[in-house]
Amino acid sequence: MSIADNGSARPLYARVREQLIERIRSGAWKPGQLIPNEFEIAAEFGVSQGTARKAIEALASERLVVRRQGRGTFVVEHTPAHVMFRFFNLYDAHREQIIPDSGHAAAVVAKATPEERAELRLGRNDKVIRIARVRTRDGRPFITETSTLPEPLFPGIAELPEIPNTLYDLFQKSYGILVMRTDDRLSAVVADVASAAALGTAVGTPLLRIDRVAFALDDRVVEWRVSYCHLGDGHYLARTKLSDDTDRR
Amino acid sequence: MSIADNGSARPLYARVREQLIERIRSGAWKPGQLIPNEFEIAAEFGVSQGTARKAIEALASERLVVRRQGRGTFVVEHTPAHVMFRFFNLYDAHREQIIPDSGHAAAVVAKATPEERAELRLGRNDKVIRIARVRTRDGRPFITETSTLPEPLFPGIAELPEIPNTLYDLFQKSYGILVMRTDDRLSAVVADVASAAALGTAVGTPLLRIDRVAFALDDRVVEWRVSYCHLGDGHYLARTKLSDDTDRR
DNA sequence: CAGTGGTCTAGACCACGTG
DNA sequence: ACGTGGTCTAGACCACTGC
């Protein structure tokens, strides 16, 4: 049964690409798994090897798969180190990436506030999971962080004996949800009494506020997170390239 | 004379790509110019049309050229609007991109300080051009900005009757330098007396500090810029994608 | 209509990793 | 030695643009 049979206007390689993405999204192909080679995919969809190649290369450029010459093509795997490296953009005064620790994380389930519904694009009676923690560095607190997750997507997280340091690898491994993109909205604030106490600093200290929304493979919003960072001589690194996509949804 | 004659290990399409980049970098192909079609490029380098195509597609994915079906392939052109849209990441409370105005800009030439030499990767006796201005929005000041440029790259900028609102299109049009990437280091500070006066706000107001370094096509540093932004309910938007390059030079 | 980029195919050979 | 992805070629046809 060939995918080429219908008269759709979309290019063949694009339709093959979507079918392959769907297999990753649905979990038919697991993280780290070897996928069929170019000729097998070509035969399955009734296209030439070159067309299958173009579809696979598109996935590779999106980092959904990793190609290894001589070995094969593998579904991307979010490891804790990988997640930190890719999605944690804080650097110290020496321009080294900061690897933070997670303090005790408290998780609760609650009805979403109007603001949470707006950020997470939820319906009226949806529930959310809130995870609050203070992150440390060399044992010293430097970030207060509150994550809010749509409860239906992540049942049972609140009951875990311990919340991991990085959520995104848990999202992929336990819930099959792959974080593809984060939008961080950054602003400067001064520490209020509560923040100052939590971070061990003075009221009025400047803090970097990071308001993050994370998107999954299908563009669903899977996390809203607000962090207040006491960075000292550190900073947040944002790289902008001419080659970046231009659409700001 | 074919490019394929030597026994280099680099793929053919990569060598063709570099030759095409060199033509843009050197100014042999001007911004907005139509470049030769796939068959002409293939013939010139002694490769097949498919290989020329792969080289051109690489340039298109880097946004160095724009392909238009039925018309041809054109060298990218930095217009002021284009530059604002791509490299100015500030948004207002309604999540609309902020388009700032430039106040009066003062430019001076001076010997580089040690800090300027470090940021711009200059030698001991190099000079720099410093451009200071206060940017406004609806007539109200909201950013103080100091750009520092290597003087040898931009002779005569300090003598211009007026400094334009966006520097990067000037860099391309008048100096043949294409800005490819910016690294913004973001931190929170509080307004000192000078900043508060310039921005019409109170001492102690939180400001977003943006420490930017801009890179040209050949990875030279072409600008170091420090901005202090009084954003109110606005923010800086930083988008991070799984598909972003992973190397943090 | 001619000329451009876009898609698709078929096949050859190379480079790499593993057994 | 074998199977994988990586490169390169040659040619066909389609879709869009502008004259």
Q: What is the pLDDT of residues A144-158, one digit of tens each?
A: 999 999 999 999 999
Q: Which of A22, A43, A75 is the last residue of a domain?
A: A75
Expressed as residue numbers, the domain containing A223 is: 80-236
List the CATH number of the domain containing B230: 3.40.1410.10
What per-residue confidence (pLDDT) applies to A247? 63
**A20 and A96 co-located in one domain:** no
Residue A243 lies in a domain: no
Establish if A244 belongs to a structural domain.
no
In a domain, B249, yes or no: no
Do A170 and A85 share a structural domain? yes
pLDDT of residue B248: 55
Q: Please state, in angstroms and rounded to a whole number, the distance separating the CA atoms of residues A154 and A135.
A: 22
Residue range A209-237: mean pLDDT, rounded:
97
Assess whether A141 and A230 both reside in one domain.
yes
Contacts within 8 Å (CB) and 24+ apart, B121-130: B121/B220, B121/B221, B122/B150, B126/B150, B126/B151, B126/B152, B127/B151, B127/B152, B129/B154, B129/B157, B129/B158
pLDDT above 60 (res B158): yes
Any strand C atom closer than 7 Å to A7 CB:
no
Residue A181 lies in a domain: yes
Q: Are residues B91 and B49 in the same domain?
A: no
Q: Assess B11–A contact: CB distance below 8 Å, yes or no.
A: no
Q: Does residue A248 lie in a domain region?
A: no
Based on the fold, state whether residues A121 and A171 are members of the same structural domain: yes
Which residues in chain B are closer than 8 Å to A241, comparing Cβ atoms?
180-181
**Rounded CA gap, A170 and A178, in Å?**
10
Q: Which residues of B touch A234 (CB under 8 A)?
A: 187
- Claim to verify: residue A87 and residue A185 sit in the same structural domain: yes
Q: Report the distance from CA of residue B1 to the C1' of nucleotide C16 in Å, as an integer.
A: 31
Same domain as B187, residue B137: yes
Provide, rounded to the nearest whole percent, the portion of chain A with pLDDT above 90.
89
Among B194, B234, B227, B222, CA closest to B211: B227
User: Residue A1: pLDDT band by 50, 70, 90 thresholds?
Assistant: very low
**Domain end position, chosen among B46, B75, B104:** B75
Confidence of residue B245 (pLDDT cuts 50, 70, 90): confident
Q: Count of A–B CB contacts within 8 Å?
A: 137
* In a shared domain, residues B132 and B30: no
Residue B121 belongs to some domain of the structure: yes
Mean pLDDT of chain B: 93
**CATH assignment at residue B54:** 1.10.10.10
User: Is A246 part of a structural domain of the chain?
Assistant: no
Please name the residue of chain A whose CA is at the shortest distance from the CA of residue B214: A240
Segment A73-109, tens digit of pLDDT: 999 999 988 888 899 999 999 999 999 998 889 999 9
Contact A234, A98 (CB under 8 A): yes
Structure-block tokens of residue B168? 């990067």
| Predicted local distance difference test score (pLDDT) of residue A245 | 75
- A21-64 pLDDT, tens digit per residue, is 999 999 999 999 999 999 999 999 999 999 999 999 999 999 99
Element (H, E) at A23: helix A12-26
**Do residues A44 and A97 both lie within one domain?**
no
Give the number of domains in chain B: 2
Q: For B184, which DSSP code?
A: E
pLDDT confidence of residue B247: 63
Cross-chain Cβ contact A183/B239 below 8 Å: yes
Distance of alpha carbon A76 from alpha carbon A97, whole angstroms: 22
Q: Is the pLDDT of residue A227 over 80?
A: yes
Q: Between the CA of A69 and the C1' of D8, what is the distance in angstroms?
A: 17
Cα-only R_g, chain A: 21
Residues A88, A124 share a domain: yes
Q: How far apart are CA A161 and CA A125, in angstroms?
A: 27
pLDDT in tens, A166-205: 999 999 999 999 999 999 999 999 999 999 999 999 999 9
Residue B45 binned pLDDT confidence (cut-offs 50, 70, 90): very high
Class of residue A57 by CB neighbours under 10 A (exposed 0-12, middle 13-18, buried 19+): middle
How many other C-beta atoms are found inside a 10 Å radius of the C-beta of residue B195? 18
Q: Are residues B44 and B125 in the same domain?
A: no
**pLDDT at site B246:** 65
The answer to the question of residue B48 being in a domain is: yes
Domain boundary among B75, B93, B124: B75
Strand C within 7 A of A45 CB? no
What's the pLDDT tens digit per position in B186-209? Answer: 999 999 999 999 999 999 999 999
Question: What amino acid is encoded at B127 in this protein?
Answer: K
What pLDDT score does A84 carry? 86
Query: How confident is the model at residue A8, as a pLDDT?
Result: 54
Task: Round to whole Å and give the CA distance between B54 and B60.
Answer: 10
* A44 and A116 belong to one structural domain: no
